Structure 1
Amino acid sequence: MFDRFMKQRPNSFKEVKTPMDAEAWIDHMEKIFRVLNCSEVEKARFGIYRLEGDASIWWKSVVASHAAGYEDTVTWDVFKIQFDQRYFPASIREEYARKYQTIAKKENESVADFQVRFQRLAGYARSIAGNEEDKIMKFKWALKSSVRNHMIANRYTSMDSLVDSARD
């Protein structure tokens, strides 16, 4: 399994410039794990193997704070919780959730770029963001008034149909 994993050329993880770096690395690893159908313990082992530099030092300190054999039994979900606490702490997630609550399309921002920013923040504000219908309404109200006024009365069944209409 390890050879198959390495053939996928998994990225290593050394440091974080932004919390999105940490999220992107986890997403990258999970794509590989889905293809390979790894066990939860294999996922953790393979992810830990790809830690380098400061990240490797951090992980060694985590292992040192647990009983012997911890690293051999840790699962991917447990690793991700610890990884998130270190590289994407709750305070930053809460900050992004607050940004979601006050999100508005910027004057020179394209609808496509706004959609990416909106969806990223909605992902961090899961409990606040609500269901798809709630997100559609929030997106409509976050558009500048000249666009919103043409769209507000229309019902949209998906975010994609709303975005297409906003682009037009």
Structure 2
Amino acid sequence: MPPRRRRGPRVEEQTEGSVGNPPPPPPPPLPQPNKREYIKVFRKENPPKFDGLGEPPKAEAWVRELERIFDFMGCTDKERLACVTYQLTGPADFWWETKRRTMDPARREALTWEEFKEEVYDKYVPMSYRRAKIVEFHTLKQGSMMVTEYDRTLCEMTRYVPELVDTDKNMAAKFCFGLRPEIRAAVASRRGIPYSEVLGCALYVEEALPKNERAINPTPPALPSNY
């Protein structure tokens, strides 16, 4: 008898589609908000318009108000730039139309909100104005202002030098440095406390001063124990 041939392991025939389950289809793309929808929501917030006329603070206030609305809506850069064009009127509208037309097409398509703000600031908030504000911040003192007025002025000016007051400690130090001597003398010992407490101490000292001596008083009252 002839020897039998050894058979190897049986290989099952594989047909198309039997290797494994096919990969699941990719998820459908998220629906993009309709342009008219988010512009409609934007207009409901009563956004301010800007004509390019007036002093630099007007342009700064316009940008800040728009940013509050955009942050509330959660707008993307593209949506912000689409909405903001509706708020430019008069000379500002002609300026931006000319700026876009003369801008490099690649940069125009990739323009971000921060870049748009830089364009607005370069045009309507000149560098000379911003430099003057920086000098004003460094030389800011309470002088004849009440503590609340001094605090408000200081907070308004921090936007020109955010890197110098980037912590609560730095903000408190700057506030104390500009206080009138009679108030600063009473608050100086309270080192290391938050800005809100430094402000509270200064308000207490000011309130305790006689009305006719609040401008100059060489002997400030002692702070209460709870401070």
* 1:148–1:18 distance in 2 versus 1, CA, 3 Å: same
Give the 3-state SS of the residue equivalent to 1:155 in structure 2.
coil
Q: CA RMSD in A?
A: 1.9
Q: CA deviation at 1:164?
A: 1.3
Asked if 1:45 is matched to 2:82, the reply is yes
Bigger drift between 37-46 and 124-133 goes to 124-133
Q: How does 1:42-81 map to 2 (within 5 A)?
A: 42-67=79-104, 73-81=110-118
Q: CA deviation at 1:71?
A: 5.4
Matches of 2:73 and 2:158, distance apart in 1 = 29
* 1:46–1:130 distance in 2 versus 1, CA, 3 Å: closer
Give the 3-state SS of the residue equivalent to 2:96 in structure 1.
helix
Give the 3-state SS of the residue equivalent to 1:104 in structure 2.
coil
Bigger drift between 152-161 and 123-132 goes to 123-132
1:29 counterpart residue number? 66
| More helix per residue | 1
Q: 1:67-95 CA deviation, whole Å, 9 max, x = no partner?
A: 45865653212211101111122222221
* 1:134–1:73 distance in 2 versus 1, CA, 3 Å: closer
What number of residue pairs does the alignment pair up? 167
Structure 1 residues without counterparts, runs of 5 or longer: none
Matches of 2:100 and 2:52, distance apart in 1 = 18
Q: How does 1:157-168 map to 2 (within 5 A)?
A: 157-168=193-204
Matches of 2:133 and 2:174, distance apart in 1 = 15
Asked if 1:154 is matched to 2:190, the reply is yes
Q: CA deviation at 1:17?
A: 2.5
Contact kept, 8 Å, 2:164 with 2:170, in 1: the verdict is no
Bigger drift between 131-140 and 6-15 goes to 131-140
2:55 to 8, 18, 23: 18
Q: CA deviation at 1:18?
A: 2.6
Structure scoring higher RCO (CA < 8 A, sep ≥ 6) equals: 1
Matches of 2:195 and 2:53, distance apart in 1 = 31
Matches of 1:73 and 1:9, distance apart in 2 = 28
Q: CA deviation at 1:130?
A: 5.3
1:5 counterpart residue number? 42
* 1:130–1:71 distance in 2 versus 1, CA, 3 Å: closer
2:134 counterpart residue number? 97
Q: CA deviation at 1:150?
A: 0.6
Matches of 2:139 and 2:168, distance apart in 1 = 18
* 1:127–1:15 distance in 2 versus 1, CA, 3 Å: same
* 1:7–1:67 distance in 2 versus 1, CA, 3 Å: same
Larger CA Rg, structure 1 vs 2: 2
Contact kept, 8 Å, 2:190 with 2:198, in 1: the verdict is no
